[in-house]
Amino acid sequence: MSFRDNKDKDPRINRILELVHSLAAGDLDARCPVSQVGDELDAIIGGLNMLAEELQASSMEKEQARMNLEAEKEKLRFLIEQIPFGIISLDAKGNHHFVNKKFIDLFGYSLQEIPDGKTWLQKAFPNGTHRNRILSFWIEYVRNPETKYLQPRVFNARCKDGTIREVLTSVIKLDENNLLAVYEDVTEKRMLEQKLVQAQKMEAIGTLAGGVAHDLNNILSGIVSYPDLLLMDLPDDSPMRNAILTIRQSGKKAAAIVQDLLTLARRGVSINQVLNLNKIVDEYTRSPEYQKLLSFHPNVEIEFRLAEDLLNIKGSSVHLSKMLMNLTSNAFEATMNKGKVIISTENRYVDMQKGLHHDLVEGEYVVLAVADEGIGISNEDLKNIYEPFYTKKIMGRSGTGLGMSVVWGTVKDHRGYIDTKSSEGHGTTFEIYIPATRSKTEDVFKPKLEEYTGNGETILIVDDVEQQRTIASNMLFRLNYTVDTVPSGEQAIEYLREKTVDLVILDMIMPPGMDGLDTYLAIKKIHPDLKVIIASGFSETDRVKKAMRLGVREYIKKPYSMETIGMAVKKERESTHKSAPP
């Protein structure tokens, strides 16, 4: 009798059929009870139940494997999203299968705007350089299947907002039909590298400039200082008076160039005076240099837009005025004697969350802007304008090549920032950011000669240059002081072991022996409370700063003048401080 003939007579057959249908439908929990008959049908039922258990176990393993695979995929997806590089996968036809969030953040395009890799490449690399590189990579791979990746290179990519970013691109072959492109935004990194190179270059040239400035200061001392002494002895109607005044003025101009070198060397700049930039602009417009500039460029229109509520800054009026003069002079020359120059000031708050300038800390700034409608600056020249002696002018006629280097050094010394915008044929704008202060300005007065005259006090001059000793001695003698001199720190120590003085004027640089700091420390051991003034061409060296921390209250810069040396001696003579322990 057949299986079909027995199904109506034995209910187990129906249960077997139901089990088969359930298993076929995916119900792996279905089972068929086994009777106690123990015949062939029970054996079939037992086999089907065992098969169901094996299928169920296999299904659970597959489900666990699937869950594990999904978990690994999720981990991989998470890691890819955290990688600080833009990633896109492309097939041989240029279609993309995956992009990470960093890719979208970097270039700014949504997936809807770049339905395929080819569209994105055309948007981001319109000149075709990178597109052609990828095509060449495919051709190379066809010729040489061993080629698995392209060496990283930097390309300029155009983002959705129009900005140009420098991206380091790497292309990796995944298989015969797919590749992976990785993009790292190196814009900021390359800017920092360029700034580091620029800083190192300025430091090297600054060291050279500082040494030259030191020697020039010694040479100029006679030209700048002696006219003060000569003018004191000349009557007002002397025919020699104008000649001596001319010598003094020429010496001061030469000393101003030395100050440019010192600024370039990042030395000798005091930025503690509370100033208002509007006043510096006003004083500059009344200077002979400005009037001369107007006479050379009669067809240039100048406009001033000065904020009435401008905050104050802390700085050096001399250096800021020189910075303004250089910027204005360059702006006038760029107009080619036609067009407009605009000088403006304003208060501006820099909010770093808006990402305005990476070199600036968040806070209040005073912004000085000098804009012209001139010929503009090429991108190539824009990279070099702050380098010393880099100029497009005729050397010796319209510039020394130090003007913009002085601007750069002045801004950095004032902890500021320069924002330069220029386009050939459309003019240039320099914006100078300088930290603002809520402190009030102080009135500056010029003391009269009798206000810094002495009462016969004894002063020891310590300087390795005979001319410097002679100049300082003559000035202090005329100011009614008793003066003695020695040429070295070692001789100063021997002198002070046997004699006493009221004050010492101590040169900082005295090769090859003890310098000013070492001499000062030795003096403190002999006369702990002896008053000492540091004299130096470099007021901001670490050695000078250390001497100031240890008790020196005054320093004077060379070349000397009657007023600077007289006022420094008066202040130190009237002070009541005691030296700090070394």
Mean pLDDT for 366-381 is: 86
Confidence of residue 234 (pLDDT cuts 50, 70, 90): confident
d(CA 365, CA 345): 11
Do the Cβ atoms of 30 and 53 come closer than 8 Å?
A: no
Looking at the chain, the whole-number percentage of residues with pLDDT higher than 90 is: 24
Residue 501: DSSP 8-state? -
Q: What pLDDT, on the 0 to 100 scale, is given for residue 377? A: 79
User: What stretches of 287-402 show up as alpha helix (H) in DSSP?
Assistant: 288-296, 317-334, 379-382
Taking 90 as the threshold, does the pLDDT of residue 413 lie above it? Answer: no
User: Tell me: the pLDDT tens digits for 100-156?
Assistant: 888 888 888 887 787 777 777 777 777 766 667 666 665 665 556 666 767 777 878
d(CA 502, CA 294): 52
Strands 149-158 and 164-173: antiparallel
Token pair belonging to 190? 């390359």
Task: State which of 126-130, 164-168, 252-256, 402-406 shows the largest mean pLDDT.
Answer: 164-168
Peptide bond into 559 cis (omega under 30): yes
β pairing state of 96-99 and 86-91? antiparallel
Extract the tokens encoding 87: 């990633």
Question: Cα–Cα distance between 299 and 486 in angstroms, integer?
Answer: 58
Over residues 553-576, the pLDDT tens digits come to: 898 887 888 888 999 999 998 886
Rounded-to-integer distance, Cα 77 and Cα 74, Å: 5
pLDDT in tens, 454-495: 999 999 999 998 888 998 999 999 999 999 999 999 999 999
pLDDT of residue 541: 73
Q: Place 353 in a pLDDT band, splitting at 50, 70 and 90.
A: very low
| Angstrom distance (rounded) from CA 297 to CA 471 | 42
> Among the ranges 73-77, 207-211, 264-268, 513-517, which has the highest mean pLDDT value?
513-517
Instruction: List, as own/partner pairs, every contact residues 181-185 make where C-beta atoms lie below 8 angstroms and the sequence separation is at least 24, other chains included.
Output: 181/87, 181/88, 181/89, 181/90, 181/134, 182/85, 182/86, 182/87, 183/85, 183/86, 183/87, 183/88, 183/103, 183/106, 183/157, 184/84, 184/85, 184/86, 185/86, 185/106
Distance of alpha carbon 527 from alpha carbon 569, whole angstroms: 18
Rounded Cα distance, 561 and 564, in Å: 5
What is the gyration radius of the CA atoms in the chain, in angstroms?
Answer: 41
Are 368 and 303 in contact by the 8 Å Cβ rule? The answer is no
Residue 394: the pLDDT is 45
This prediction's pTM: 0.50
Burial of 172 (0-12, 13-18, 19+ CB in 10 A): middle
